[in-house]
Amino acid sequence: MTGFVENEVEIPYIELLTKAPCADLVTDFHCVTGWSVLNVEWRGIPTRYLMDIAKPRGDYVMAVGIDGYITNLPLNALFEETTIIAYAMNGKILPREHGFPLRLIVPSRYGWKSAKYLSELIIMDSNEPGYWESFGYHDNGDPWLEERFNESDPVTIKRRVSS
């Protein structure tokens, strides 16, 4: 965890598996396109554990994947008890197609916020759009509020008018 933090945190993968606290989570996974997978079993590290060490000073976070994918979130999403950095899924080490070696899991948001191949969490003092957000997807992405698109974004408005 880097950026606007009191303490930068870098934990080697093997230590995440062997020394960090472990959380087991069963949750549904919702895609912005309308499908869901129910009762996915995840195992990982609570993000609150990292937050306690890093002591963030900003209000937003950018999740960065090894593949260059980025997605933004309000910092409070990392304080949720159900948000973890997963290394296992359904009783097995996280498969490559689901984000091996690590995946941010944010059950309170649509799936695009659960960044695969997680390599870094950057705490920011101001909001910046991630990959999908730069195309008009919502910054928060709450599935219960159906926050799919940023309705005030000119790109989203143009796309909706022309379709």
Which tens digit of pLDDT belongs to each residue from 5-39?
999 999 999 999 999 999 999 999 999 999 999 99
**Please, are residues 109 and 75 in contact by the beta-carbon 8 Å criterion?**
no
Burial 95-107 (b: 16+ CB within 10 A, else e): eeebbbbbbbbbb
pLDDT in the model for residue 32: 93
For the chain, what is the domain count?
1
Q: What are phi and psi of 71, to 5 degrees?
A: -145, 140
Whole-model pTM: value is 0.90
The fraction of the chain above a pLDDT of 90, given in percent, is 90
Question: Pairing state of beta strands 2-3 and 118-124?
Answer: parallel
Statement: residue 155 has pLDDT above 60: no
Which tens digit of pLDDT belongs to each residue from 79-100?
999 999 999 999 999 999 999 9
pLDDT in the model for residue 150: 86
**Please, are residues 1 and 8 in contact by the beta-carbon 8 Å criterion?**
yes
Distance CA 148, CA 160 (A): 13
Give me the CATH number covering residue 80. 3.90.420.10
pLDDT in the model for residue 151: 76
- For residue 45, the enclosing domain spans 2-162
Nearest to 120 by CA among 66, 81, 76, 161: 66
pLDDT in the model for residue 153: 54
Where does residue 56 rank: exposed (0-12), middle (13-18), buried (19+ CB within 10 A)? buried
Which tens digit of pLDDT belongs to each residue from 98-138?
999 999 999 999 999 999 999 999 999 999 999 999 999 99
Nearest to 46 by CA among 24, 65, 30, 31: 24
